[in-house]
A and B are shown apart, each in its own frame.
Chain A
Amino acid sequence: MPAAQETVEQVRRIDVDQYKYGFVTDIESEKAPIGLSEDTVRFISAKKNEPKWMLEWRLEAYRRWLTMREPTWARVDYPKIDYQNAYYFSAPKKNALASLDEVDPEILLTYEKLGIPLREQEILAGVVRPEGERRIAVDAVFDSVSVATTFKEELKRAGVIFMPMSEALQEHPELVKKYLGSVVPVTDNFFATLNSAVFSDGSFVYVPPGVRCPMELSTYFRINEANTGQFERTLIIADKGAYVSYLEGCTAPMRDENQLHAAVVELVTHDDAEIKYSTVQNWYPGDADGKGGIFNFVTKRGDCRGARSKISWTQVETGSAITWKYPSCILRGDNSRGEFYSIAISNGRQQVDSGTKMIHLGKNTTSRIISKGISAGKSNNTYRGLVTAHRKATNARNFTNCDSLLIGNQCGAHTVPYIEAKNSSAVFEHEASTSKISEDMLFYCRQRGMSAEEATALVVNGFVKDVLQQLPMEFAVEAQKLISISLEGSVG
């Protein structure tokens, strides 16, 4: 596994400043007036020239949100958020672009710095690619709007729709209307309802029946503006027999204040369809004293609506001051399958409360959960999971494996699994372990010549190997680097 080697090299190159995505791009932006009101919602909807039903949908969400309370059950602790002291919409001034050439060069530069190729030509003409390396279509979301989507034409020929949500509302309103909110209802939870009211952009994907999407689809989210929340909305539909693999990456500048990121992701698979959704989350985690960082309060849910369909979530969570997310699967179709593979790393004063829900409704539905939590520094890392089988879910099967690794003695790991079977034929297996990174293991590695940091990176990479293998290759390498970077300073 040369990738492990890569990690070790990466560790060596790390500067004192661990978060290398913390720069700010200097561009002019257009913002909604500060604060949240019906006017804000109307402003956003008007900006996007949305159909009337969309505005009504948003307003209904907003009114609902006013009656809701922020959830407090998660094992996270943060100061009260002042929802009136934030901007809910921010867009780079140059907008409405016909081609990539019109994108503000500063923004292109930003994505270049982040290592995300937006220029299709470069990719197409590109240097000889190693065999098997796939091309990736990218949708880049900068603050509240999508600034560029690549490979649109090629995808169109295959019948795949991949575009910013705001465009989809103009070009395919019937599809959006049919599926939006059908997995995560407007009323679902405090943050999802807030998102429904003020979401600004995100990616929309529709893969028609029988089509295997010819390339990986990817969205890169970037929060640039200060005091601005990012509320993106992603909707992916795989029609009968379709397949798509989707990757999501996120970064933000280093700022002293906290920023809210409340996204909603909805996935729908029809009969025999499959969606593979991978996330490498690297929002700014705040500094060593816990100042600043992103509040990542995200609702992600997939609906295996059709028989024999499959949804697979893979996540590598290294960033954010607070993570609150539970990518879930509703296994509605008979013989459908849900998977959740997660690596959650916390260091410094980060707080992670993450896990999944596998809701077995159909017959012979199966699910698998592999969760690897790594806590270092003074962080807290909680796995929270729910596995249920409803009355009609005959022969539901779940296998859960939750492992926690502690580095140092000031961090915490917690596992909170809920298991509920209303059908006696259900078989749910749960395995869990918590271990401290063993001194003997580190000594063994160091006796062979590895530094304390190299040894830790190697041991941690071994610990998360099962999950890393689930990631598309390009992301696996990135994830591996991230793991070692986020553990920087955790040994000593």
Chain B
Amino acid sequence: MLLEIKNLHVEVEDKKILNGLTLTVEKGQVAAIMGPNGSGKSTLAYVLAGKDNYKVTEGDALLDGESILDMAPDVRATKGVFLAFQYPVEVPGVATMTFLRTALNAQRKTRGEAEFSTPDFMKLVRDTAGHLGVSQEMLRRAVNVGFSGGEKKRNEILQMAILQPRLAVLDETDSGLDIDALKIVAEGVNRLRSPERSMIVITHYQRLLEFIVPDVVHVMAKGKVVKSGGKELALELEAKGYAQYADEAA
């Protein structure tokens, strides 16, 4: 298994959000996490990425058997943890191309790998960007500044494709996308599926899972996983809603 989360309890500003969450993601597996608003889905994503102010009071999260909870965000990233943000952050004045290059080379250096030469890097980005419909013009623009919702999400997937993580967490990547944009993003994600890469796809709606078909579906409520099943579980949720899980979590 790649990721093992054991009995995780997390507080944010003294408010308990995760409440004994246990979850395992196998190598190469695409796991969907569904759940109502406020069930702790995004908190899970941030805790795995190492955001400040998310206090783990109990439990652990292991990547390949190694606890990551005490690692700095950049160390986790270098070990292969990638978060596609629900709300990608603007970085004014920094060209997307520069951002990508700085990130990739930072990771490679830390891992003791050779940095990409400029021509090799340009080629890598051009090829990858083409698949995602990211134009050269967009690569020259400052990171996420003035990007449309769709452009921001495509930019997240582009970064994921360039950084080649082992564990990708996609936090509501479908939010704010129309159906065409959703298809492009989903295709980009599907292209990155590999026996070596695990993904956690967080979503509120079943719609995304029509395009990114998960191996397993976990349902979260009140800070823990309350039900797990195959991809058909998503359809069942769509039909019945989340109300039925309110009691189970309590």
Contacts and interface: CB of A to CB of B under 8 A. Distances in A.
B118 interface: yes
Most buried by B among A444, A455, A464: A444
Given A5-B98, A462-B142, A446 B72 contact: yes
Interface stretch (A15-23, A380-388, A435-443): A435-443
Interface stretch (B102-110, B211-219, B225-233): B102-110
Contacts of A458: 91, 94, 98-99, 102
Interface stretch (B29-37, B81-89, B194-202, B239-247): B81-89
Interface string B20-52: 000000000000000000000000000001111
Nearest to B104: A449
Contacts of B82: 447
B98 A1 contact: yes
Interface in A1-18: 1-2, 4-5, 8, 12
B188 interface: no
A454 interface: yes
Interface string B92-135: 11110111011111110110000000100000000000000000
A441 B91 contact: yes
Interface in A404-446: 438-441, 443-446
A450 B93 contact: no
Contact of B52 (A1, A443, A445): A443
A461 B74 contact: no
A444 B91 contact: yes
B89 A451 contact: no
A440 B91 CA distance: 10
A446 B98 contact: no
Given A2-B118, A448-B77, A449-B163, A454 B102 contact: yes
Given A439-B52, A443-B51, A449 B106 contact: yes
B78 interface: yes
A463 B90 CA distance: 12
A444 B85 contact: yes
A8 B51 contact: no
B159 interface: yes
A439 B73 CA distance: 12
A446 B77 contact: yes
A6 B55 CA distance: 36
Contacts of A459: 91, 94
A451 B51 contact: no
B93 A462 contact: yes
11 contacts: A2-B98, A4-B94, A5-B105, A445-B91, A447-B49, A448-B99, A450-B102, A451-B72, A454-B106, A458-B98, A459-B91
Interface of A: 1-2, 4-5, 8, 12, 438-441, 443-452, 454-455, 458-459, 461-466
Q: Which 9 A-B pairs have the closest CB atoms?
A: A462-B93, A448-B103, A449-B107, A462-B94, A444-B89, A465-B93, A449-B77, A446-B73, A446-B74
